[in-house]
Structure 1
Amino acid sequence: MAEPKSTTNQRLTQIKDFLTMNKTAMAIPWDPNCTKFPTRKELPEIPGAPPGAAWVWGENDYVGRLNLLTPSRVAAAAKEIRTGEIIPVNLPLNVPGQPAFGREIFKHEVKILADNVAYDDIYHLNTQSGTQWDGFRHFAHISTGTFYNNTKGEDIVGPNANHKCSIHHWAEHGIAGRGVLLDYRGYAHKKGINYDPYDYYPISFEELYQCGKDQGIDIRPQAQGGDIKIGDVLFVRTGWVEAYHMKSDEERSALALRTHVLGKDDGQRYAGISQEQRVIDWLHDSYFAAVAGDSPTFEAWPSHEDYHLHEYILALWGMPLGEMFDLEKLARKCRERNRWTFFFSSAPANCPGGVSSHVNGQVIL
């Protein structure tokens, strides 16, 4: 009897791994220490999961691509520290003054414990109001109403609420690794490309590729001959923070309070990563541990497709997604030194049951 094709392929992969000293992820749960992972087109079908789901780290996994931040990768990333300069990437908690999408304004109160002796702080905030990580509870695969690793709305709120995909899992795991910055805004200024970060402007894969090339980076994954390593954290600067600081308070508030509706007619409009299939393939196949941008949406908003990148990144792949990072100083320093990789760390809030978190992140050059 002929050997099943899948068994034959596995044996061929094992032989190839032996010859090349690689370790390919095959059986679920995947070993995060593997050196080769399937492309998006090669993902195995997972019973009960939406098509294209990469729920591959185990039934009770709630950190997703953070699994790729193994001790050996973090130790390797630490070698990026050369000058020791620390660059925080967090906006002040009260920036933006009026958050987009109708979110609550940050409020800070100083509580007097004993006048002239002791004081406390009281914060009232929406974790989506400033520099933030979108947790896996934040955005579902819309057509199935499913969050990462088969988490449902009833797991998040209601009498059966539990800790599936809670943000505290990230806090207990920790986030640290090699960061890579693509300063698209700086590249656009250099090339005379004009766009408004407060309007829909999709940045294509080709534009990102040319931006990387201008910086001396091949943005393809190492498996395809590029410079992106498994477990890297991607940062993309679109210029939203730059544009924010150039506007008056009145302009900022008016733009933040634009009418929000689902679909192409949404008044909330921002520059960001294109939703084209080539971008989706690249984001998946690079095996980033996390991705982040400086705008309120990361992807170009509103989506002009029948899907959102948020669905792929959060619900299908379990990849942390950051928004409204302050990348201004980092971009200046990277350009001055002509180096675009660095050590990055973040301490998400240890909030059992939490949806998202402020980043508490910093870069060390």
Structure 2
Amino acid sequence: MGCAQPAPTNGVPPSPYELPYDSLPDKRRVWHGKPGSREEGLGRLALLTPDVVAEAARSCIKTGVRVSLNWDLTKLDIANFNRAPAQHHITSLLGGAGFDDVYIFNPQQSSQWDGLRHFSAPFPTPENPSRRLFYGGTTAMEISDRSSHRIGIHHWAKEGICGRGVLLDYVAYAEKHPISYSALSNHAVPLRVLRQIADDQGIEFRRGDILFIRIGLTKEWDTQMSPADKQAYAQSTDPQHAGVEGTEEMLRWIWDEGFAAVAGDAVSFEVYPPQKAYLGVDGSEVPGFFMHEFLIAGWGLPVGELFDLEELSRKCRDMGRWEFFVTSAPLNMPGGVSSPPNCLAIF
């Protein structure tokens, strides 16, 4: 599937999100809306129009069965990148007549949506060859200024992230073929495999879909890793994460299929660290890309990581369907960088 070239309406140029990938004037900078506007803050979520969401609800909600996609806030209990574990304090209220609780946590240390303030991309100039910008051309100085809420997560919180979700279960595919790998390695999943999984599962993508890819990190962390294994990962100076290949064909596919958001149970969705090159089908090398720089900083696309997809996978397999309605309510924090997904799949 792909996007047909749209025609201007009443002389108004089409939204850049309506253009096919190969027609984008600048594939690294698809910035939409005026600085500070709702349109800029939504980014790619602009694809989730009321019509798209209503059709997703009509076609996906059949049984009312619900599955949470939120991993415990205590996970990763031992995280890399110097991320501290969550703290949860329970405090007495009115002399023990009731209780409050206090949460101190970094959303990046468990299930989270990466907001548009999370990652930047290089936009060098002769005067500043190391310049990096966030979505819309937002600067690090603007984000550090707490009075500025530009491209904050609160834009997503106003309407939530709701629509048709589809799951590509790479863990099940790897078990079937068989393919042996660790979710904490630089194992890269190529596009041809994702397409094969979609064919095997009978998935036909629709514009505005929310794509989930099961890599197996939460399963490995919860059932296979010892405390020593987790500590070794947290202390590693060269952490590795399995994920999708960072290639241009992967970028083109994500764009042209019209995904409104992508998510998975991997630490970084794409393979990490970014690889300089990958082997193509014919054995030749193709260049690698750091996809966060395109997806988040370039396109305004929400990227979800460390979602708990284990029960979702079981429900999809038992029901013989890999589509479901997604409802996600990011925290309404003005100027927020990221958020727990507060996400449910409804069948």
Q: Same fold (TM over 0.5)?
A: yes
For the Cα contact (< 8 Å) 1:127–1:357, is it kept in 2?
Answer: yes
Q: Comparing 322-331 with 54-63, which one deviates more in the overlay? A: 54-63
Matched, 1:150 2:137: yes
Give the whole-Å Cα distance in 2 for the aligned partners of 1:314 and 1:255. 26
Shift of 1:26: 8.8
Alignment counterpart, residue 57 of structure 2, candidates 54, 74, 78: 78
Matched, 1:332 2:314: yes
What TM-score do the two structures reach when normalised by structure 1? Answer: 0.83
Give the whole-Å Cα distance in 1 for the aligned partners of 2:342 and 2:19. 32
Give the whole-Å Cα distance in 2 for the aligned partners of 1:76 and 1:239. 30
Structure 1: gaps of 5 or more residues: 1-11, 15-22, 46-50, 218-226, 260-266
Give the whole-Å Cα distance in 2 for the aligned partners of 1:312 and 1:184. 23
Shift of 1:68: 0.8
Give the whole-Å Cα distance in 2 for the aligned partners of 1:31 and 1:141. 19
Deviations 1:118-175 (A, max 9, x none): 111011111211000001000001344111111111110147x511111111101321
Matched, 1:103 2:80: no
Q: May I ask how many residue pairs the two structures share in their alignment?
A: 320
Matched, 1:124 2:95: no
Deviations 1:239-287 (A, max 9, x none): 111111121222222212211xxxxxxx110110100111011111112
Alignment counterpart, residue 315 of structure 1, candidates 285, 297, 300: 297
Give the whole-Å Cα distance in 2 for the aligned partners of 1:146 and 1:231. 26
State the 4+ residue runs in structure 1 displaced beyond 4 angstroms: 23-29
Name which one, 1 or 2, has greater alpha-carbon Rg.
Answer: 1
Give the whole-Å Cα distance in 1 for the aligned partners of 2:67 and 2:99. 29
Shift of 1:67: 0.8
For the Cα contact (< 8 Å) 1:100–1:296, is it kept in 2?
Answer: no
Deviations 1:18-72 (A, max 9, x none): xxxxx9899446298xxxx211110135xxxxx5321134553111111111111
Alignment counterpart, residue 199 of structure 1, candidates 145, 167, 185: 185
Give the whole-Å Cα distance in 1 for the aligned partners of 2:121 and 2:302. 15
Give the secondary-structure state (helix, strand or coil) at the position aligned to 1:173.
Answer: coil
Counterpart of 2:282 in structure 1 is none
Matched, 1:294 2:265: yes
Distance 1:183 1:25, change over 3 A: farther
Distance 1:271 1:24, change over 3 A: farther
Matched, 1:39 2:15: no
Deviations 1:91-129 (A, max 9, x none): 111011112222011111111113441111011111211
Structure 2: gaps of 5 or more residues: 124-130, 277-287
Give the whole-Å Cα distance in 2 for the aligned partners of 1:28 and 1:124. 45
Task: Give the residue type in structure 1 aligned to 2:227.
Answer: D
Give the secondary-structure state (helix, strand or coil) at the position aligned to 2:181.
Answer: coil
Counterpart of 1:283 in structure 2 is 254
State the superposition RMSD in angstroms.
Answer: 2.1
Counterpart of 1:212 in structure 2 is 198
Give the whole-Å Cα distance in 2 for the aligned partners of 1:229 and 1:237. 19
Give the secondary-structure state (helix, strand or coil) at the position aligned to 2:122.
Answer: coil
Task: Give the residue type in structure 1 aligned to 2:258.
Answer: Y
For the Cα contact (< 8 Å) 2:247–2:289, is it kept in 1?
Answer: no
Counterpart of 1:87 in structure 2 is 67
Q: Comparing 173-182 with 246-255, which one deviates more in the overlay? A: 246-255
Give the whole-Å Cα distance in 2 for the aligned partners of 1:26 and 1:284. 25
What TM-score do the two structures reach when normalised by structure 2? Answer: 0.87
Give the whole-Å Cα distance in 1 for the aligned partners of 2:312 and 2:73. 19
Give the secondary-structure state (helix, strand or coil) at the position aligned to 2:163.
Answer: strand
For the Cα contact (< 8 Å) 2:153–2:335, is it kept in 1?
Answer: yes
Give the whole-Å Cα distance in 2 for the aligned partners of 1:31 and 1:72. 19
Give the secondary-structure state (helix, strand or coil) at the position aligned to 2:84.
Answer: coil
Give the secondary-structure state (helix, strand or coil) at the position aligned to 1:315.
Answer: helix
Counterpart of 1:304 in structure 2 is 275
Give the whole-Å Cα distance in 1 for the aligned partners of 2:272 and 2:106. 21
Q: How many percent of aligned residue pairs carry the same amino acid?
A: 39
Counterpart of 1:52 in structure 2 is 28
Give the whole-Å Cα distance in 2 for the aligned partners of 1:212 and 1:25. 38
For the Cα contact (< 8 Å) 1:171–1:350, is it kept in 2?
Answer: yes
